[in-house]
Amino acid sequence: MQVDVAILGAGAAGLCCAIGCGRRGRSVLLIDHGRKIARKVLASGGGRANCTNEDIVPADYVCGNPHFVKSALARLPSRDFLDWIHAGGVATQVEDAGKHFCTGGAITLVRFLEARAREVGAQFMLGATVAAARKDGEAFAVDTDAGTVRAASLVLALGGKSWPGLGATDFGYALARGFGLAVTPLLPGLTPLLAGPDMAAFCQELSGVSLPVVIRGQGEAVGSLLFTHKGISGPAVLDASMFWRGGELAIDFLPGLDLEAVLAEAPRLEIKNALARVLPKRLAGEVAQKLALAGPVAGLSPKARRELAAKLVAFPFTPGKAEGYAKAEVTIGGVDTAAISSKTLEATRVPGLYVIGELLDVTGRLGGFNLHWAYASGFAAGESA
């Protein structure tokens, strides 16, 4: 089989690249080992796909070169993306922090992207095993179990290695290395954090409790935290996993609240009951027990009140480790962007080879930023491949 563009990986990035290439009249073949396309999109946002964010800036991404994402993002503002999908019947609703979710579920977005790709003539080879991809004279050859595909351009859109249950592999990194591209160190990102030994029982006791927090360490993460029987999870924790590399985190359980004022209003209450005015009841009880605080609020000296308030705005939590690739929404690190054009996503030393999406060393924070990067980088490559 001979095509202009072979795209390995039919996820969000591969589909958008196919749409872009097809619009320019290029013949396109998407090859994926899954029988279903875009399985990560289908699972994203709890099945509702947090598909983009109202407010996207380059600083929302971690990348070895912080300027790398600028060009592709500038060519796909989230407003334009939303207008495009809304016009095609994909409804979204905006929730906290500018996150857009697909009202009819992630499936509406996947069907839309597939329809747009098929409209411009893209073909799909699904359930295919790719054995190798190599340079073949001026072109590329992709060896699959259904035969060899020859293409003038080859796009690697194979995603990161996180969440293998959804078809993720590390094949993209191996292929990229085979073409002489470097891969930066890989880490699981946007993942729950497991409790260290000193906090394991505390978390277990509080499993199921959730509250708004701010987590501070080498960065700052805002949102809700959920205690689980193994540690902590929830949007703020997933975001904190992007900067946590070991050591202690400080959790503010009382963002924007003045605990000393709350205590002053309730001198006769048991300390744990006073805390329960501003914290979930079970957390208030566990905190009082952990800090050995009993008796009425009136029994606390002004210094003890100050110390308690300080403790609850910077509650020390040392994770044992991040949960790992099985439950990480993204892979931090990837194909080194130093050898990739930020404008076209083409490998500077391998003409005709493109790398897009999560496979690159580009990772967004929680909130629709990773899917948006997949589309933006896919479309940018689709203008050139």
Ligand X SMILES: Cc1cc2nc3c(=O)[nH]c(=O)nc-3n(C[C@H](O)[C@H](O)[C@H](O)COP(=O)(O)OP(=O)(O)OC[C@H]3O[C@@H](n4cnc5c(N)ncnc54)[C@H](O)[C@@H]3O)c2cc1C
The yes or no reply on residue 309 touching ligand X (CB under 6 A) is no
Tell whether the torsion through CA atoms of 36, 39, 43 and 45 is positive or negative: negative
How far apart CA 50 and CA 365 sit, in angstroms, is 12
Beta bridge partners of 156: 8, 355
Looking at 11-19, 219-227, 251-259, 310-318, which segment touches ligand X (CB under 6 A)? 11-19
Subset of 140-159 contacting ligand X (CB under 6 A): 157-159
**Least CB distance to ligand X at residue 41 (A):** 6
Among 114, 270, 323, 329, binds ligand X (CB under 6 A): 329
Asked if 61 is part of the footprint of ligand X (rule: CB under 6 A), the reply reads: no
Nearest to 17 by CA among 346, 338, 332, 339: 346
Q: Is 171 in the site for ligand X (CB under 6 A)?
A: yes
Does residue number 19 form part of the binding site for ligand X (CB under 6 A)? Answer: no
Smallest gap, in angstroms, from Cβ of residue 223 to ligand X?
13
Site map (CB under 6 A) of ligand X, residues 111-140, x = contact: -------------------x----------
At closest approach, how far in Å is the CB of 118 from ligand X?
16
Helix or strand or coil: residue 224? strand
Tokens of 63: 């990348």
Q: Which is closer to ligand X, CB of 114 or CB of 358?
A: 358
CB of 192 to ligand X, least distance (A): 12
Rank residues 140 and 369 by Cβ distance to ligand X and give the closer one. 369
- Distance of alpha carbon 157 from alpha carbon 112, whole angstroms: 19
- Taking the C-alpha atoms of residue 222 and residue 213, their distance in angstroms, rounded to an integer, is 6
Q: Is 368 in the site for ligand X (CB under 6 A)?
A: yes
Check residue 11 for interaction with ligand X (CB under 6 A).
Answer: yes
Strands of 9-129 (E only): list them. Answer: 28-32, 50-53, 61-63, 92-94, 99-102, 123-126
Phi, psi of 301 (to 5 degrees): -70, 160
Q: Is 44 a binder of ligand X (CB under 6 A)? A: yes
283 binds ligand X (CB under 6 A): no
> Kindly report the CA angle at 267 between 263 and 271, in degrees rounded to 5?
65
Asked if 72 touches ligand X (CB under 6 A), the answer is no
- Is 244 in contact with 192 (CB distance < 8 Å)? no
d(CA 118, CA 66): 34
Question: Which residue ranges make up the site for ligand X (CB under 6 A)?
Answer: 9-14, 32-34, 39-41, 43-45, 49-50, 130, 157-159, 163, 166-169, 171, 329-330, 357-359, 368-371, 374
